[in-house]
Amino acid sequence: MMKYYLEIKFLPEDDISIHFLWSKVYKQLHLALASVKNAENKVNIGFSFPEYRYDQKKSGGFIGEKLRIFAESENDLNILNVQNWLNRYLDYVHISSVKNVPNEKISGYAIFKRKQVKSSAERLARAEAKKGRYDYENALGHYRKFITSTNLPYIQMLSDSSQTTDESLKNHFKLFIEKLSAEKSETQVFSTYGLSSVSSVPEF
């Protein structure tokens, strides 16, 4: 059970957008979680987005300007040392102290999971053509039948696999996040993005 949490409040400015801050801060938090992962690349620390909004009919949603980080023990959050990982962004975020989850205020539980979509038929077609299995046009026609897209809220990320230091040459991808209502989960298993398809976090 998640008993402790801390909250990050984003402080965007005219020249620093909320989307830019999410991209930079989430990258650092991903690295922080990766530093405490187990052999299966999993952690027992989960994220929630208390201002998350999504309406499929209204073409999308918004992640919000807050992030909560949950753990089963206070020590887990102290070891994570969020303050240190976000040191260069402290002018743009407010990080709360570690607090007890207010059980009397819990209104329910939610799962925040990553939604992966194959969004680039062109990229897949080029890969097939390079392997010599199909020509580009045939492969493109094939993949366009199966490509799915989504308008879920997302965070723009830089791929860990990018070796170059030139950010304009790095691989960018959208980390789409889906929210599902859930029951309280007994197991706490999350990815190094703080997301899970099986473990829930409290809402309050």
Query: Residue 169 has what pLDDT?
Result: 44
Report yes or no: 31 and 43 within 8 Å, Cβ to Cβ.
no
More confidently predicted of 164 and 8: 8
DSSP bridge partners of 115: 176
pTM, two decimals, is 0.82
Query: Is residue 155 one of the residues assigned to a domain?
Result: no
Burial class (CB within 10 angstroms; exposed 0-12, middle 13-18, buried 19+) of 80: buried
- Residue type, position 99, single letter: K
Mean pLDDT over the full length of the chain? 88
Residues 162-179: tens digit of each pLDDT:
454 555 545 678 899 999
Q: Is residue 160 part of a domain?
A: no
For the chain, what is the domain count? Answer: 1
137, part of any domain = no
Residue 77 in domain = yes
Contact 4, 74 (CB under 8 A): yes
Return the pLDDT at 172: 77
Task: Give the closest residue to 5 by CA, choosing from 89, 67, 64.
Answer: 67
- Look up the domain containing 35 and give its range: 4-116+178-203
Q: Are 92 and 17 in contact (CB under 8 A)?
A: no
Residue 35 lies in a domain: yes
Say if strands 172-182 and 201-203 run parallel, antiparallel, or are unpaired: unpaired
Domain annotation covers residue 64? yes
**Can you give the pLDDT at residue 165?**
54
Asked whether residue 87 is domain-assigned, the answer is yes
The answer as to whether 164 is a domain residue is no
What's the CATH code of the domain at 56?
3.30.70.2540
Cα gap 88→13, rounded to integer Å: 16
Q: What's the pLDDT tens digit per position in 10-68?
A: 999 988 999 999 999 999 999 999 999 999 999 999 999 999 999 877 777 899 999 99
